[in-house]
Structure 1
Amino acid sequence: MYFTLALKLEKIYHVNFKDLSYLFTLPVAIAIIGYFKNNVLRRMTVNQQKQNQLFFLFLLFNIGMFFLMDRVSPFQFISTIPVLAYFITHFFTITKNKLAQNVIGYSYFLIVPLIGYSWTFYLLNDASFDNYKQETTALNEIPEGKTVMVLGDNHSAYQNAVMASPYLNFRLTEIYFAKMGEMKWKTRFYQDLKKENPDIIIDEAAVFDSWIQDLPKLKPLYTRSENGLIYRGVQE
Structure 2
Amino acid sequence: MFSFFKLNDPFRLIGIGIYVLLLTFVYLALIHFPLTNPQLMWMLLGERLGQGYYLYQDIIDDNGPLSAGFFTFIDLLFGRSLLAYEVVGRILISFQILYWNSMLIKFKAFDVNTYLPAIIMAALFHFSFDLLSLSPALLGSTFLILSLGQLFSQTVLQKDTSESTLLIGIYAGLATGFHPNYILFLPYMIFTGIAISSFSFRQLMLSLVGYFLPLLLITLFYFWNDGLEEAIQIWPLTFLSEKYEYQSLLDWLFLGIFPLLLAIAGYFMATVLRGSTINQQKQRQLVIIWLLFSVAQFFIIKKQAAYQLVILIPGLTYLITQFFLNIRKEIIAKLAFYLLVLGLPSVALWYWQQKITGSEYFVGQSEVKYSGNILVLGDDLSPYLNGKLGGPFLNYRLSKLYLEQDRDLREKARLFQMLQKQKPTTVVDPNGEFEKLFRQFPALESQYSKTSPGIFILKK
Same fold flag (TM > 0.5)? yes
Provide closer, same or farther for how the CA distance between residues 183 and 37 of structure 1 changes in structure 2, counting only shifts above 3 A.
farther
Q: TM-score, normalised by structure 2?
A: 0.43
Q: Which runs of 5+ in 1 are unaligned?
A: none
Q: Which runs of 5+ in 2 are unaligned?
A: 1-232
Residue 133 of structure 1 is matched in structure 2 by 362
The residue matched to 1:67 in structure 2 has which SS? coil
Provide closer, same or farther for how the CA distance between residues 115 and 161 of structure 1 changes in structure 2, counting only shifts above 3 A.
same
For residues 17-51 of structure 1, the C-alpha deviation after alignment (integer angstroms, 9 at most, x for no partner) is 43222111111121122223233434434443343
Residue 206 of structure 2 is matched in structure 1 by none
Q: TM-score, normalised by structure 1?
A: 0.77
Say whether 1:56 aligns with 2:288: yes
Residue 184 of structure 2 is matched in structure 1 by none
- CA RMSD of the aligned region, Å? 3.1
Say whether 1:211 aligns with 2:437: yes
Listed as ranges, the matches of 1:12-51 within 5 Å are: 12-51=244-283
Instruction: Select between 45-54 and 20-29 the one with higher mean Cα deviation.
Output: 45-54
Letter in 2 for 1:148: I
What displacement does 1:211 show?
A: 0.7
The answer (yes or no) to whether the contact 2:378–2:431 under 8 Å persists in 1 is: yes
The answer (yes or no) to whether the contact 1:142–1:160 under 8 Å persists in 2 is: yes
Residue 110 of structure 1 is matched in structure 2 by 342
The residue matched to 1:38 in structure 2 has which SS? helix
More strand by share: 1
Equivalent of residue 181 in structure 1, options 393, 407, 417: 407
The residue matched to 2:323 in structure 1 has which SS? helix
For residues 135-182 of structure 1, the C-alpha deviation after alignment (integer angstroms, 9 at most, x for no partner) is 33344x222xx2222111111222232213332221222223323337
Residue 425 of structure 2 is matched in structure 1 by 199
What displacement does 1:98 show?
A: 5.7
For residues 39-70 of structure 1, the C-alpha deviation after alignment (integer angstroms, 9 at most, x for no partner) is 34344344433433333233222212222233
Provide closer, same or farther for how the CA distance between residues 91 and 166 of structure 1 changes in structure 2, counting only shifts above 3 A.
farther
Q: How many residues align?
A: 228
Residue 80 of structure 1 is matched in structure 2 by 312
Letter in 2 for 1:233: K
Question: Partners in 1 of 2:245 and 2:453 — Cα distance?
Answer: 31
The residue matched to 2:268 in structure 1 has which SS? helix
Say whether 1:142 aligns with 2:390: no
The residue matched to 1:201 in structure 2 has which SS? strand
The answer (yes or no) to whether the contact 2:327–2:333 under 8 Å persists in 1 is: yes
Indicate the percent of aligned positions where both proteins have the same amino acid. Answer: 29
The residue matched to 1:225 in structure 2 has which SS? strand
Question: Partners in 2 of 1:225 and 1:74 — Cα distance?
Answer: 39
Question: Partners in 2 of 1:61 and 1:165 — Cα distance?
Answer: 36
Letter in 2 for 1:68: I
More helix by share: 2
Question: Partners in 1 of 2:247 and 2:269 — Cα distance?
Answer: 32
Residue 163 of structure 1 is matched in structure 2 by 389
Question: Partners in 2 of 1:3 and 1:32 — Cα distance?
Answer: 37
Instruction: Select between 147-156 and 92-101 the one with higher mean Cα deviation.
Output: 92-101
The answer (yes or no) to whether the contact 1:212–1:218 under 8 Å persists in 2 is: yes
Letter in 1 for 2:429: D
Question: Partners in 1 of 2:412 and 2:365 — Cα distance?
Answer: 29
